[in-house]
Amino acid sequence: MEIPTTAVDIAWNVRNNIVKATDVVEQHLAAIAEREPEVHAFNLVLADEARARAAEIDDAVSVGRDPGLLAGVPVALKDNMCTRGIPTTCSSKILGDWRPPYDATVVTRLVEAGAIVVGKTNLDEFAMGSSTENSAFGPTRNPLDTSRVPGGSSGGSSAAVAAKFASLGFGSDTGGSIRQPAALCGVVGVKPTYGAVSRLGLIAFGSSLDQIGPFAHTVADAALALEAISGHDPGDSTSIQQGPLQLTRQLDMGVAGLRVGRITDLPTGASPDVEERVEVAFDALRAAGAEIVDVEVPAFTYGLTAYYLIAPAEASSNLARFDGVRFGMRVDAPDTNAMYMATRTEGFGDEVKRRIMLGTYALSAGYYDAYYGRAQKVRRLIANDFAAAYEQADVLVLPSSPSVAFEIGDKASDPLAMYLCDTYTIPSNLTGDPAMSVPYGTGEHGLPVGVQVIAPALHDDVMFRTAATLERSLG
């Protein structure tokens, strides 16, 4: 029998003993063998481990045990999520062959749900980038056009799903690192409410901004994935005291009566093909019974500026632990200070060094109030403006990325141009609100365009209802 490709269908068929998990895994490993050399989605493929896990799931089904919500579903993990005994590198030389002594909570929950990890995916080093060109192990390519980037920083996970190497991918989103690559690769990508998914075992970039979420072929797949990994974790002090998100039962409720906000003062910069697809999305939601309302978010335009002070400051603090003493690579030198400098100079790439220096400066004596402190005040303004917009609208709809996927190398030498890729995604990281990208047709060069849906914190279900309606409108 033909092996299904969506996570919902795979799990249902495996749980009901219609399809074998071993057959599902072999199909995906065959796809990896065929195209991985040209795409480079993975830092490490776990073929033997995946086959062994699939056999365990088939054995459980054969004796009448339910292996879980994601039974037999192949998943790809961004290589900044700790996996016990398996290299976790953050695509950085400084971690090299480091093998964590524990699993991230998300990894534990995926295994408990019956998912099968097929590999650790490439990323911009320490999740700092928008193209997956900043990896110490080389760039990932967009499987839809290998001359172009898959987006970043979770480009490996996004490419793995788009190439059908895995049914689900998991990434981290600090300023758009799930939604932007999802848009460029033509898949669904979700950043849930901050705190809805545990960050325990996620190697931190910006602790007040990072959130783990899924890539998927469909909105229903993404909903199922979040139900499996969300819920309170006492090991994460930022984890919300609530049970797992309940999303799948909301998907057919539609948008009749919902107020969908159009932000009239969005920063300029989206290409005409992207703007056209967003307008089509508004038309589809109106036809489905939603009311389209104009709202203003005046501080939206300051999001990029505030983020590139707050995120590097938190990165400077978080990455201080990589010093050549406790774990990771070490470059020997005559004294401790020289060893610190040599290790960090050789171990970190240019973009990571750039952000560490920027963040350290923003936190330094005499400049803290002028830069980091002021950026936090702007963050509060952005949150206030979004709260005011949500008094008029239940969700907001806007572009996920200013453009379709750009060519490899096109922005690599211009950091500011690269940072502008996150113009539309950053504000929801600053506010902690849920946001997701839904593929919505194509633009220039026939490449995918993503439409972004944002909702107030803890209203992930309304966001998913809207996204599912958009997906259905394309047939």
Residue 91 — φ and ψ, nearest 5°?
Answer: 55, 40
**CB-based contact 433:389 (threshold 8 Å):** no
Q: In what order do the strands lie in the sheet with 448-454?
A: 42-45, 116-121, 74-78, 168-172, 212-216, 188-191, 435-442, 448-454, 395-399, 259-263, 291-295
Residue 450 — φ and ψ, nearest 5°?
Answer: -105, 135
Return d(Cα 306, Cα 188) in angstroms, integer: 27
Please calculate the CA angle 233-239-241 and round it to the nearest 5 degrees: 80
Return d(Cα 160, Cα 42) in angstroms, integer: 8
128 CB-near residues (< 8 Å, 6+ apart): 134, 153, 205, 315, 351, 352, 355
Return d(Cα 181, Cα 464) in angstroms, integer: 19
Catalytically active residues, by annotation: 78, 153, 177
Q: Are strands 74-78 and 116-121 parallel, antiparallel or unpaired?
A: parallel
Handedness of CA 212, 216, 218, 224 (dihedral sign): negative
